Structure formats: structure tokens, C-alpha cells
Structure 1
Amino acid sequence: MVDRFERFSLLLFEILRYWHKLTAEEMKKYGLKGAHSIYLLTMLRYPEGISAPQLCEYCGKDKADVSRMMALLEEKGLVKKEGIHQNLYKGVFKLTEEGKKAALFVSKRASLAVDLASKDLSEEKRIVLYEALEQIVTNLRKLNKEGLPE
């Protein structure tokens, strides 16, 4: 019998593996990788613009990743930088019109994927699932800050 940790880990890794494959396939349309989808979706929620430190926090990425991703998205014409251009961490990034189209496309495709992936779950089970996952993330975040107790 598979123990709880192994089952938990395997299920999460399998969900992530399939999710990353789906996002990678969808992002090919824009010449991007699946990892860019989280940036587009996050930026879509902030039409007034979002700073690099906020992107780090909201996307769970480090400064180097944000820097690389924003540079590529700017190069593709999906994002523009407003504010002080000499310093990545001043000013904000905004989606261009093409970027908004791409982000809306990604959002619709992600919603479809989530709907199809959870189609056999009742609304009540979905609510419980998301609440449980949020609590697990909260607990793991705390454990990572404080370490495992002895």
C-alpha cells in the first residue's frame, strides 16, 4: 500500500506534469513556453500595471526569472514597461493590446482545462478540494519558513 506522503506527492506531481504539458501546448501559439502563462494571467488581473517585485510575490518566482520572462514578453510585443526604464524594479509592466489578447486566450483555455479536469466533481467537492489545497499550501509555507519541528 502506498503511504500518504507518497500518494500525496505523486498526485501533485502528476497534476503539475499534465498541467505544464497543456500550458506548453497552448503557449506555442505565441512562441512562448508554458511558464509564461502564469505571468500573462497575473498581469491580466492588474490592468493598471504591476511591478517586478509584485510579480515575484504573486507568481512565486525570483527576480532573475521575472527579469527573463518580462524581457521575452517585451521582445514579443506582449508587455511594455512604464516608468523608469534603467531600473527593472521601478515602474510597472503592462500588457499591450496583443498581450491582453494573449492573456484572455490563456485565461479561457485555462478555465476550459480546469472545467474539464474537474467535470466529475460536484460543486461541493470542488469547494472542499480548493479549501483543502489552500490549507495545505498555508501549512507548507509556514513549515518552509520555520522548518520542521524536532
Structure 2
Amino acid sequence: MNRRFEDFSTIMFRITHYWNKLATEEMKVYNLKGGYALYLLILANCEEEMTAATLAKICGRDKADVSRAISTMQKREIIEPFSKGAYRAPLRLTENGKQLAEKIQKRADLALALAGEGLEEEKREAMYESLSAIVDNLKRLTEEGIER
């Protein structure tokens, strides 16, 4: 019997579970939720201006979750507050935010290095390429449906 569905699903769920658990533990130090790590790193590494809606789309997260995170990080002076009435204003990290993102990036890099121990660079690249293709295909299937 073909177990590809079960194998793929359980592997992806387990990766997500452990990665979220690590992110939550790491971000506790800063009294922030684990999911905020991704938001901070994307903002720190983006080369052009980004709105909350764009950040939500890139992360594949709910806009309401991103808005709550931004509100929290603005109160903590990690992200500059929006101008009055400018919901679509670009997000910018404060100096505090940039320093925090740098610390988080170092920890994320270390976690990735440790998680990928024993993987040759060629295999790692093939894995990311394969996962990207799977994501694109799954997105298309959710938009177009699966033939019956």
C-alpha cells in the first residue's frame, strides 16, 4: 500500500510542530510569541517597503494575526507606529527592532544548522527546491481543485 500521503503529512506536521516549539521557546526570552520571529526576520531582510497585508501574504498567515503582532511590536517599540490613519503604511523596524531581529537571525541560523546536521548542501538545495514545487502545486490545486 502506498503511504505517501501519511508519510508526507506526518513529516510536515512534525517539522512544523518542532519548529514552532523552538520559536516559542526562543521568543519567550523577549516576551513575544514564537510566530513573531518570522515577521521580524522578513521585515529585517526585505529590501523594499512592506505593508501588513504584504507581510501576511508572504508568511501565509491570517491578516488579523499579523495586525495583532504589529500592534504588540509597536507598543514594545520594535516596529515604528503607523502614521495617523495609515493602515497601509509601510512597516519599519526601529533600532530596537533591528537589534532584536539580528539576535533572532543568529539563533535561527544556529537552529537551522543543527537541524540540518548531516545534510550535504546539494541535498539541502534539492529539498528546498522540491518543497517549493510542492507548495506551488498545492496552491494551484486549492485554487483550481482536483479533477474527479
User: TM (normalized to structure 2)?
Assistant: 0.92
Q: Secondary structure at the match of 1:87?
A: coil
Q: Find the aligned partners of 2:136 and 2:10 in 1 and give their Cα distance.
A: 20
User: TM (normalized to structure 1)?
Assistant: 0.91
**What is the number of equivalent residue pairs in this alignment?**
148
Which amino acid in the other structure matches residue 85 of structure 2?
Q
Q: Residue 19 of structure 1 corresponds to which residue in structure 2?
A: 19
Q: Residue 85 of structure 2 corresponds to which residue in structure 1?
A: 86
Q: Find the aligned partners of 2:122 and 2:46 in 1 and give their Cα distance.
A: 30
Shift of the alpha carbon at 1:48? 5.8
Higher-strand-fraction structure: 1
Contact 1:47 1:95 in 2 (8 A): no
Q: Residue 39 of structure 1 corresponds to which residue in structure 2?
A: 39
Contact 1:48 1:94 in 2 (8 A): no
Q: Find the aligned partners of 2:42 and 2:142 in 1 and give their Cα distance.
A: 24
After superposition, the C-alpha distances for 1:112-143 in whole angstroms (9 at most, x for unaligned) are 11111111111111111111111111111111
Q: 1:143 aligns with which of 134, 141, 144?
A: 141
Provide closer, same or farther for how the CA distance between residues 138 and 48 of structure 1 changes in structure 2, counting only shifts above 3 A: closer
Q: Residue 76 of structure 1 corresponds to which residue in structure 2?
A: 76
Which amino acid in the other structure matches residue 16 of structure 1?
T
Q: Find the aligned partners of 1:10 and 1:40 in 2 and give their Cα distance.
A: 28
Structure 1: 5+ residue stretches without partners: none
Q: Secondary structure at the match of 1:30?
A: coil
After superposition, the C-alpha distances for 1:24-78 in whole angstroms (9 at most, x for unaligned) are 0110111101011111011101366421221122111232112111001111111
Q: Are 2:125 and 1:127 aligned? A: yes
Q: Find the aligned partners of 1:134 and 1:2 in 2 and give their Cα distance.
A: 23
Tell me how large the CA RMSD over aligned residues is: 1.6
Q: Which moved more, 1:48-57 or 1:66-75?
A: 48-57
Q: Find the aligned partners of 1:14 and 1:61 in 2 and give their Cα distance.
A: 19
Which amino acid in the other structure matches residue 138 of structure 1?
D
